[in-house]
Structure 1
Amino acid sequence: MPSSEKYRDHVLEQFNGKLLEGGFRVTTRKMMGEYILYADGKIFGGIYDDRLLVKPVAAAKAMLPNAKLQLPYDGAKPMLRVAAEQIANNGLLVRLLDAMLPELPAVKKKK
């Protein structure tokens, strides 16, 4: 089941609603009915079947100690699921993203 634009917009609003500086920090790219999440040019997670999943880097594991590992789709690596009450806490999402970014590799440029 593909993710809805309404859910994507809700998640983006939570990430981008509390920016200290102007502009959108989190962007998406639609891929096969789901959404890949980018921040500062780095992939940090995605929206799969109306679930917010983030990469299980050390900072994310530390900030979301009770998060369950879930597969975004068959054959993929497991990711941490962000619970609905955590999504509603946009301050937490901004701190989570700030903590995760240094641990994420930069997106490889296409030749």
Structure 2
Amino acid sequence: MSTTIDFIEYVCDQIAGVGEIRYRKMFGEYMVYVNDKPILLVCDNTVFVKILPCLDETMREADKEFPYDGAKKHYVLDIDNAEFSKKVIAILEPVTPIPKPKKKKGK
């Protein structure tokens, strides 16, 4: 089952106010960007965040799962808890780089 548009819009509503939010469909699932930085991975109506040392304390109680086949384990974010989700994003956003633009093929 892939993520529904209603769910991805719910995710964005839950984190409103943390910065400029946009999402992009990727392989039937979604990446949520905050200030042009890839912060949340949404697969099968579940929100994932990368396991990073800066989140060790905050996410110590969170489940860890594989978002898709071949991926590394990620934390599962309780997106229903808007304040907690915003706290996690506030920790992640400063340490997440803006992706470099991909070079066009043939140039």
In structure 1, the partner of 2:67 is 72
In the alignment, structure 2 segments of 5+ residues that lack a partner are: none
For 1:39 and 1:79, locate their aligned partners in 2 and report how far apart those are by CA, in whole Å. Answer: 18
Q: Structure 1 residue 94: deviation in Å?
A: 1.6
Q: Structure 1 residue 103: deviation in Å?
A: 2.0
Higher helix share: 1
SS of equivalent residue, structure 1 residue 105: coil
The one-letter code matched in structure 1 to 2:22 is T
In the alignment, structure 1 segments of 5+ residues that lack a partner are: none
The one-letter code matched in structure 1 to 2:88 is L
For 2:33 and 2:12, locate their aligned partners in 1 and report how far apart those are by CA, in whole Å. Answer: 11
2:35 counterpart of 1:40: yes
The one-letter code matched in structure 2 to 1:31 is M
- CA offsets 1:39-84 (integer angstroms, 9 cap, x no match): 111112211011000111223332121112211111112111013x
The one-letter code matched in structure 1 to 2:44 is D
The one-letter code matched in structure 1 to 2:98 is A
In structure 2, the partner of 1:88 is 80
In structure 2, the partner of 1:104 is 96
Give percent identity, aligned residues only. 27
RMSD (CA atoms) = 1.6
Q: Structure 1 residue 4: deviation in Å?
A: 0.8
Greater Rg over alpha carbons, structure: 2
Structure-2-length-normalised TM-score:
0.85
The question of whether the paired residues in 1 share the 8 Å contact of 2:65 and 2:76 is answered with yes
